[in-house]
Amino acid sequence: MEDYRSSGVLAALEVINSIVPKQKLHAVGYCLGGTLLSITAAAMARDGDDRLASVTLLAAQTDFTEAGELTLFIDESQLAFLEDMMWEQGFLDSRQMAGAFHMLRSNDLIWSRMIHDYLLGERQVMTDLMAWNADATRMPYRMHSDYLRKLFLDNDLAEGRFVAGGEPVSLTDIRVPIFAVGTERDHVAPWRSTYKINLQTETDVTYLLTTGGHNVGIVSEVGYSGDRSFRVKKHGPKDHYVDPDRFLIEARQKEGSWWPEWVSWLQEHSSPLAEPPRMGAAGVPTICDAPGYYVLQQ
């Protein structure tokens, strides 16, 4: 986890700062990436690093006491088994990871698909979101073990024991505004779990709850013909805490994609728009033309 923080998030910040110096950045993290971003933001605040303008957490947990059905797979015995298996091959295979998530929604992701695809012989047409969802990756042994043991099992981040940069981090150190998004049918990061960010920080938190699940709820493009709606409410450091049930009552439901709401929030916390920098500026080489070799399978 520390390598992902230093060689991932912080390294990206260094490159961006070299291209657009003295500019504060809006940082966004999705799922585990959001957890890692919250750790990074807390460590930066602790160390007096003020390069962030805001933090957006998409379906990301910072407290794992109500982490949902995935906790059925996480105990000392299960972790010991996983660590032994990962030690032999160096990683958790993507098929093993996908199998665990499929079990969380077995009616939707296993049995209904078996009936539809195998028994009825009606193959589903692949969509871009389905293809993206199927593009799994391996989980490195050391990082995955740190994540499951220190966060899921021991809840070190929420309880002030998680170490980043050699010292523990505290989410209460974060002073930049936070935009947190949860999804109603999320089996990976239940929204009541992601909602706990309101209790863990002492800054302005705008919490938005949208329809859909862990993927479809986040990928909520404008103009989609399906039924989409969301609720949103701001919670300041001096405001009285509103519990999740009361949030559902007080936050008025809005129709459509939540993306324009996020854009408006970002504009409120941004400086005036400027001309985007030239790619490869400040001595940072351009690897290849967009969208990149990976997307083109080259």
**Residues designated as active site:** 31
The answer to whether the CB of 9 falls within 8 A of the CB of 44 is no
Q: What residue type is assigned to position 5 of the chain?
A: R
Euclidean distance between CA atoms 99 and 95, whole angstroms: 6
Chain-centre distance of CA 241, in angstroms? Answer: 23
Euclidean distance between CA atoms 19 and 16, whole angstroms: 5
Name the residue with tokens 């479809």.
216
Euclidean distance between CA atoms 268 and 262, whole angstroms: 10
Euclidean distance between CA atoms 100 and 94, whole angstroms: 10
Name the residue with tokens 């009936």.
115
Euclidean distance between CA atoms 179 and 264, whole angstroms: 11
Phi-psi region of 82 (alpha: psi -120 to 50; beta: other; left: phi over 0): alpha
What pairs with residue 25 in β-bridges?
52
Query: Nearest to residue 203, comparing CAs of 59, 51, 63, 55?
Result: 55
